[in-house]
Amino acid sequence: MSETIFLGVDLGTSRTSITTSTGVRETVWSYVGYPKDHVARKKFGGRDIIYGREAVENRMALDLVRPLAGGSIKARDGRDTAEMKRALKDLVQYTVSLAKAPAGSTIFAVIGAPAEASVEGRATLLEAAASCIDSVIICSEPFSVAYGLDFLDDTLVIDVGAGTTDLCRVHGTMPGPDDQRTHEVAGDTIDQTLAHLIKRKFPEAQFSIHMVTSFKEKFSSVSKNLDRAVVTMPVAGKPQPFDITDCVFEACYSIVPPTVKALQDLIATYDPEFQSKMRNNVLLGGGGSQISGLGRAIEEALGEYGGGKVMTVEEPQYAGSNGALKIALDMPGEYWKEFANRAEVVAAVPSKA
């Protein structure tokens, strides 16, 4: 009888994490690269596909694809080109391979998707997973965070990713469409805003979007007492120091207003008796939760709506995949059999018999 291995996958625009029932926890940057020519292929030892950080660092020799940026999984109007579908399939296969499942194993996986992922986006994801997973269930990314931490009672979850910020109202059952919101001011948007602000303030500076991302990841803050952000950028080929502190603050703070607006919308449309409890039970996760002071900034912005309390997850890198694995382990066996040959999305997480 083959071994059954359960996977929890947080498929992110920037980074993808996997947690398995066998104790594996891995993260890979969500990039896929294909050698441009035979010289590039030789450089990579004959490999046809390069993944993650290695792909980004060697992008000049690769056709670099970020399959979750702009496709239908992350954007409401996103289009899935053949190139993106191929790269998504390759990324999913590589992520599953990190589980190091023995040959012949049966693999069941729960994959987190944006709160308002389109039907087309979920279908694209299911198609990509079909080649390497025996049965797959898709759930809301913010719900998987809440489920993994047992925050299932009147909780508002914010999952700040690279492509989208997803919000979910959790109240003891699987969330429905009315319980979820998504907006597209997230990590990538902050990068683009920061690049624009730097270019406007220092037009002579030369930089790439990858450099800007590294600046953000090092200095990101919405604290009023943030440390000075001094970076090095070339000017006509000569490295020069630049103080981008104000630019970093302004770019990072751009995520606060749309997030608070979505939070208040979810609160205002909830049962009035429980609105105060939910407003004071906000859980902040995702890679963007690491922006220094973000929880406090959201609390302050909620002040005009009666205040609120925001808690930040302790392990944002794996909170989503840990929760997805917990859902997988709690799912009764008959449901996995039911979904094994059907491209459908689970509508509920049944209680264990």
pLDDT tens track for 47-82? 999 999 999 999 999 999 999 887 667 666 667 788
The more confidently predicted of residues 174 and 128 is 128
Which amino acid type is present at position 126?
A: L
- Give the CATH architecture of domain 151-185+254-313: 2-Layer Sandwich (3.30)
pLDDT at site 341: 45
pLDDT category of residue 146 using cuts at 50, 70 and 90: very high
pLDDT at site 95: 96
Percentage with pLDDT > 90 across the chain = 69
pTM of the model: 0.85
Hey, what are 154's tokens?
């009147």
For the chain, give the number of residues: 353
Q: Give the CA distances from residue 15 to residues 66, 77, 101, 169, 233, in Å, rounded to whole numbers and listed in that order.
A: 10, 22, 21, 24, 26
- Domain(s) labelled CATH 3.30.420.40 in the chain stretch across 151-185+254-313, 188-252
CATH 3.30.420.40 fits 188-252, yes or no: yes
The pairing of beta strand 4-11 with beta strand 106-113: parallel
CA gap 165, 260 in Å, rounded:
11
